[in-house]
Amino acid sequence: MSGPQPGNGGLQYDRGVTAGQVAQRLLEHDRHLDRVSGSIEAVAGKLTHVELQLQRMADSMDADRVTVIKTAAALKAADEARRQQGEQRWSPWARLALAATTIAAVLSAAGIILAHVR
């Protein structure tokens, strides 16, 4: 007869070897799953960090957009004010003051020139 004999423990030995092999394979699978779980946790942590950085970038872009809009509006208002100021006509008093100042400057210059000529 070939094969294990029930009375001599050969069958139990084979079962023990098989059980040991199964236990060893299960242990290797457990170790592999632990490594995979650790890797997944590390990736999840890094993904959370990336998500936070992306949210900060989006918030910064929103703030920059608001600043650009406000700055453009302020520049437009300043340009319009400058144009309106340039387009305003001179009041009669301003014209009179300019004329008087110009006449005084011309007379002073003429007096200085005549004083040096004589």
pLDDT digits (tens, 9 = 90+) for 56-73: 999 999 999 999 999 999
Q: Are 46 and 53 spatial neighbours (Cβ–Cβ below 8 Å)? A: no
Q: Is 90 left (phi over 0), alpha (psi -120 to 50) or beta?
A: beta
Sign of CA dihedral 69, 74, 75, 77: positive
Whole-number pLDDT of residue 61? 92
**Confidence at residue 54, expressed as pLDDT on a 0 to 100 scale:** 93
| Interatomic CA distance for residues 84 and 67, integer angstroms | 26
Token pair for 66:
């608001």
Which regions of the chain are under pLDDT 70? 1-9, 86-88, 118
Report pLDDT for 87: 66
- Domain coordinates of the chain in residue numbers? 91-118
pLDDT for residue 71: 92
> What is the pLDDT at residue 101?
95
